[in-house]
Every structure is written in C-alpha cells, then in structure tokens.
Amino acid sequence: MRQSLISPNDRIIFGHPTIGKSFLKNKGDNRFISLDDDYASEINKMVKEIADKNKVTNSQVKNGGNEIWNKEYNEEMQKLFNTAKQRAENENKTLFTSNTNLLKNNLSSFDKIINLTDEEFEKRIAERGAKYDVKQWKEQINEVISKANTSKVITTNKYLSDLLNQPTEIKPNEV
C-alpha cells in the first residue's frame, strides 16, 4: 500500500535533531511550524535570561539536568510548545520539535516520531563540528523513543525533505 511517511493528519511530530527542519525553513518552506526555528528568538531570549539569572552558561540551561535552571527552561519550553500547538492547529499545519524533554513529557501527543539511526546522527553532528557527548545525547533520545508506540516511530537515515515529499510502500517503523 502506498502511503506518505508523514500524512496531513500527523499534526505533532518529533523531528530528530539534524533531520533537516532548519534547512527546509531556511529554504522558505512554510508547510509546517518548527518550534526550534519559528520560535528561535523567543527560545534564545528565554535561555539567556535564565542563564544570566542563575549565572550559568546557555548550554547548562538546556542540558537536561535537574538543576533549577533546567526545570525553569523545561517549564518555559512547555509553554512555547503549547502555544505552537495551538498555532499549528489554527493554521492547519504540522508542528515539529526536536526537544527531547517535550517528547518525554508529551509522548502521547505526538503523531509521529522521526528517529535517525545512531550512526547517521553521529555523522551529521560530527559534520556540524560538535564538541559534546553525542553518544550520551543519542542514548537519551533513544530511551524516550523506546517508550513510544512503535507504529508512530519512523527510523531512517533520510532527511525531512525526503519524508515529506515521497510516498512509500514501507511500514513507517521500517524506513
């Protein structure tokens, strides 16, 4: 049976970091809302305010720990997520986010979860010149995804542009 990997009925999607959301947004693609890109100014401002208030770095604010600044960041991200969900509904668009805590805390809200293989993720992060622990980050993502309904998970080495544009005869969790 031919079907799109991502259907118009899929309204909230976890788009794995490095899947290509920002690339499409930078190309002017307006078919979807990307929390990471469309709300980048709000996120950056909020992160800076939390970092300055707590005298920590921006990275520390977002590192997923249990310190007060991480909790505040996650609470503010949840508020933005809720705002973006409402906007997506009002504009009849799909919302993408790559925030692992939002996925974890709202798992049942996600219609699809795009998961890159470990090897592909490490390759793409290395191409970006990242200097942080990619394996630990990917393990955190995988742990959350392992709790999701497998029918929602698309494991792939492709980019978002491929997944949005090409029908397939493959079951979503076997891409």
pLDDT in tens, 63-94: 777 788 889 999 999 999 999 999 999 999 99
Residue 42 vs residue 171, higher pLDDT: 42
φ, ψ (nearest 5 deg) of residue 148: -85, 155
- The separation between CA 92 and the C-alpha centre of its own chain, rounded to angstroms, equals 19
Q: What is the pTM of this model?
A: 0.86
> Under a CB-based contact definition with an 8 Å cutoff, are residues 152 and 51 in contact?
no
pLDDT for residue 120 is more than 80: yes
